[in-house]
A and B are shown apart, each in its own frame.
Chain A
């Protein structure tokens, strides 16, 4: 198990070389199981294997399609289970979303309808995953630019219920939470307070871009810039209300030199170590 006051960074093709060269101080590295499946060899795979031998890791998926109605991929889950056995400190997370139906892929994370029917479906799926990997899953709130008329619950209520029923933990992505709140004219702190503090097990922080549209601004999580000041403030509130948990700094596109992303990780570490939460 990672200590709650752990600050980590995502591994991606863009930062792998510098990370492997410099081996900076990090509490953990987040890796994608999809990369192990898709790249059985090659330079990146060598770096990935060397880095996961050096650092504690967490596993973060983007291809599970947890909310899909098609069967889960047993091969993928087997890889995750094997990795978790190899890395006892790790947990596995994926998104409360769907991205594929059988062999058809949308190549993006799409939101679910927040209804009782889809909650029952999601809980069945989480149960299947947890049985396969033999440990609690961390489920992440996604950023989205649309909701559905058929939804009967708000996102926090839906995710809280899924976590409570299945024993899963919530991976609270504060950038996604903030971007959604901005996109739907909500108060991010009120949304944050709606999440069950007891179920939160980890955090993600990332940058987010704003795009001007004819009727206003839309915030999109391209993960290509530094964390917004408002998201840092939200993180401070989360640490106070919910408490410290392993926190990942994600920077995946337009990745700057490693020193710049490490500055952001250092900001995470400082906050984790100075927060006074008693939780």
Chain B
């Protein structure tokens, strides 16, 4: 059976997360003695705990934003996000997705007061904050993805020597991400990792370019710059395109079959291509 009594109570509590507790809820609550009979005060305690537990994991993910905005600036942003968020995801990474959505919806000029480092670069403050927030999220995603359980470099070399390798489907690490940006992302990542006091964010002088974000050897996150042709090839390495399909795709750019396979093997050696899938489906560890 469903308890209508509990349903009403639960709806009222959740509603109070984003507005004042209703008179009905205040009448239901009997606070502990230390609150002196003030139901509003005890509900406030729960609301503060709920906010802390929602926002705390985001501090762990948005370390680059803390570097960019300072601790107070990040706190302000996350408090505003909390007021905006319906609080649906419990998973921190999903909540971070939602937070980036919130940042992208902020009106232009909202972040100018928080951020001085973009002045004179021709970039908007919102672009800078979004860039760093997305880098934070992508690094977090890469570091929490299921570990490599593929055949290893030697195993992949062997697979590429077999006749049936052309209908194998290359793929990157499960958490690897490709990003196109006008910022010099590799340089930016190094500055964040070193907590370097930059005057302004590093911008690409030759226009937007591609980057690969993944976990490198030794479990360390890395951000690698990519030529456009390699980004195009790697974007097809998602476990759905066969080697034959990738070679066909590249033929329109004047690449021979052998040249494409050589490029793929180079990415195998660099531990960027980590699997050559042959089965349909394939489970993902919880």
Contacts and interface: CB of A to CB of B under 8 A. Distances in A.
A is bound by B:
yes
Interface of A: 36-43, 45-46, 63, 67-69, 79, 82, 98, 100-101, 103-108, 110, 112-113, 115, 117-118, 120-121, 124, 145-150, 183-185, 211, 213-218, 220
Nearest to B32: A183
B225 interface: no
Of B4, B43, B54, B144, most buried by chain A (CB within 10 Å of CB) is B144
A112 B6 CA distance: 7
A40 B146 contact: yes
A69 B86 contact: no
B87 interface: yes
Given A40-B284, A69-B2, A113-B5, A98 B10 contact: yes
A107 B36 contact: no
A108 B28 contact: no
A68 B13 CA distance: 12
Contacts, number: 151
Which applies to chain B's interface (DSSP): helix, strand, loop or mixed? helix
Interface in B1-41: 1-7, 9-11, 13-14, 17, 27-39, 41
B171 to A, nearest CB: 15
Given A107-B54, A110-B46, A216-B33, 16 more contacts: A40-B284, A41-B174, A79-B286, A100-B90, A103-B89, A107-B49, A107-B50, A107-B90, A124-B1, A148-B9, A148-B28, A148-B30, A149-B27, A213-B34, A213-B36, A218-B35
B199 interface: no
Interface in B157-183: 174-175
Contacts of A110: 10, 13, 46
B105 interface: no
A152 to B, nearest CB: 11
A63 B36 CA distance: 31
B204 interface: no
Which applies to chain A's interface (DSSP): helix, strand, loop or mixed? mixed
By size class, the interface of chain B is 35 or more
B286 A41 contact: no
Interface in B233-277: none
28 contacts: A40-B145, A40-B146, A40-B284, A40-B286, A45-B144, A69-B3, A100-B90, A103-B89, A104-B87, A106-B17, A106-B87, A108-B49, A113-B5, A117-B3, A117-B5, A117-B6, A118-B5, A121-B1, A121-B2, A124-B1, A149-B30, A150-B5, A150-B28, A183-B33, A184-B32, A213-B35, A218-B35, A220-B45
Contacts of A120: 1, 3
A67 B50 contact: no
Given A101-B14, A213-B41, A216-B34, A67 B175 contact: no
A267 to B, nearest CB: 28
B1 A147 contact: no
A221 B86 CA distance: 26
Contacts of B32: 145-146, 183-184, 218
Contacts of A149: 27-30
Contacts of B88: 103-105
Of A43, A103, A105, A113, most buried by chain B (CB within 10 Å of CB) is A105
B53 A107 contact: yes
Contacts of A183: 32-34
A44 to B, nearest CB: 9
B146 A63 contact: no
Nearest to A123: B1
Nearest to A222: B49
B217 interface: no
Interface in B78-115: 86-93
B190 to A, nearest CB: 21
B60 to A, nearest CB: 9
A146 B219 contact: no
Given A148-B29, A216-B34, A41 B87 contact: no
